[in-house]
Amino acid sequence: MKTFQKTVGILIVCVAVFLFSSCIYQKYLADVDPVVVKELIRLGVVPTSVAEVQQREIPDLDAGGTGAWWGYFGYACEKGGYDLYSYAGKTVTATSVDIRGTCQDQKIKINVFSDENVIVCTYLTMQENLGGAPGVWPINSEQCGY
């Protein structure tokens, strides 16, 4: 009987956690492409703000000028297992949302570039208005926890 009660208790906790997580995702990611939501759930991130979604053209990441800044994103994507370079000159959907977690003691946001039903890249950056140098990290960086 004790085993049954323990199993039921664990099941209730699991259902409560699932419902709570679903509510959080629904609240903050209501207007986000389902493929991106699926990726965020797969990664286990917890959003803490409403997602921003916009269309972005990826510049030539190897060029100077605008592309020079984008090189940081290309590097972070590459280290995270993605190939942003192959999307140069293409327009992608950029989804950005603050999440629970830190990189080098800085609050972070997750950024996802997608193209139709494909995740092009996922990387982490500092949340805006925190001061200091802008940080860009691969999704799998050991300096980050979420």
Please tell me the pTM assigned to this model.
0.79
Q: How many whole angstroms separate alpha carbon 121 and alpha carbon 84?
A: 6
pLDDT of 31: 86
Q: How many whole angstroms separate alpha carbon 122 and alpha carbon 76?
A: 9
Sequence length of the chain is 146
Q: How many whole angstroms separate alpha carbon 24 and alpha carbon 56?
A: 26
Tens-place pLDDT, residues 129-139 = 555 555 899 99
Tens-place pLDDT, residues 103-112 = 988 999 999 9
User: Is the Cβ–Cβ distance between 100 and 117 less than 8 Å?
Assistant: no
